[in-house]
A and B are shown apart, each in its own frame.
Chain A
Amino acid sequence: MQRLARGERDALGPLMERHHRRLFRIALSYLRDVDEAMDAVQETFVKAYQAAARWDPVSEVAPWLSRIAVNHSIDIYRRRRRRQRSEAPMPEATTDHDDRWRAADPSPESEASGREVGQRIAAALQSLPERQRAIFVLRHYDERSLPEIADTLGMSLGTVKSSLHRAIARLRERLGSATA
Chain B
Amino acid sequence: MTLFHGRWRARVSLLAAGALDPHEEAAVQAHLASCGACRADLEASRRALDLLDRDPARAAEPPVAIEFLKTRVLARLDEAPAPRPFRWGLAAAGLAAAALAVAILPLLDRPVVTEKPVPDEMLARMERRLARDSAARYLDEAQDLLVNVSAHPADCEKDHGRIDVGEEARRSRELLERRALMVELGGDEVASAQPLLDDVEGLLREVAALPACVRAESLEAIHRQMERRHVLMKIDLVTRELRG
Contacts and interface: CB of A to CB of B under 8 A. Distances in A.
Co-complex (A, B): yes
Interface of A: 7-10, 12-13, 16-17, 20-21, 24-25, 28-29, 32, 34-35, 38-39, 41-43, 45-46, 49-50, 78, 81-82, 85-86, 90, 100-104, 106, 111, 113-115, 117-118, 120-121, 129-131, 139-141, 145-146, 159, 161-166, 168-172, 175-176, 178-179
B16 interface: yes
B62 A41 contact: yes
Interface string B130-148: 0000000000100110011
Interface stretch (B106-114, B189-197, B201-209): B106-114
Interface of B: 9-10, 13-14, 16-17, 19, 44-45, 47-52, 54-64, 66, 69-70, 72-74, 76-77, 83, 85-89, 108-110, 112, 140, 143-144, 147-148, 151-152, 154, 157, 164, 167, 232-233, 236
Contact of B63 (A101, A159, A172, A175): A101
A121 B72 contact: no
Given A38-B88, A117-B55, A164 B17 contact: yes
Contacts of A20: 62, 66, 69
Contact of A17 (B66, B152, B167): B66
Contacts of A115: 56
Nearest to B50: A179
B83 A141 contact: no
B60 A103 contact: yes
A78 B178 CA distance: 19
A179 B47 contact: yes
Contacts, number: 182
A42 to B, nearest CB: 5
The majority secondary structure among interface residues of chain A is helix
Contacts of A169: 9, 13
Given A9-B112, A41-B62, A139-B19, A166 B154 contact: yes
Contacts of A101: 56-57, 60-61, 63
B52 A140 contact: yes
Nearest to B76: A46
Top 5 closest pairs, chain A to chain B, by CB = A179-B47, A103-B59, A165-B10, A38-B88, A165-B13
Given A103-B58, A145-B19, A42 B48 contact: no
Contacts of A168: 13, 16-17, 45, 48-49
Given A82-B236, A100-B89, A179 B48 contact: yes
A127 B120 CA distance: 48
B147 A81 contact: yes
A22 B148 CA distance: 29
B77 A118 contact: no
B76 A34 contact: no
Given A9-B74, A35-B86, A104 B69 contact: no
Given A39-B85, A121-B57, A166-B157, 18 more contacts: A16-B69, A16-B70, A24-B61, A35-B85, A38-B88, A41-B69, A46-B77, A82-B140, A82-B236, A90-B151, A100-B63, A101-B60, A101-B61, A104-B61, A140-B52, A145-B19, A172-B44, A178-B51
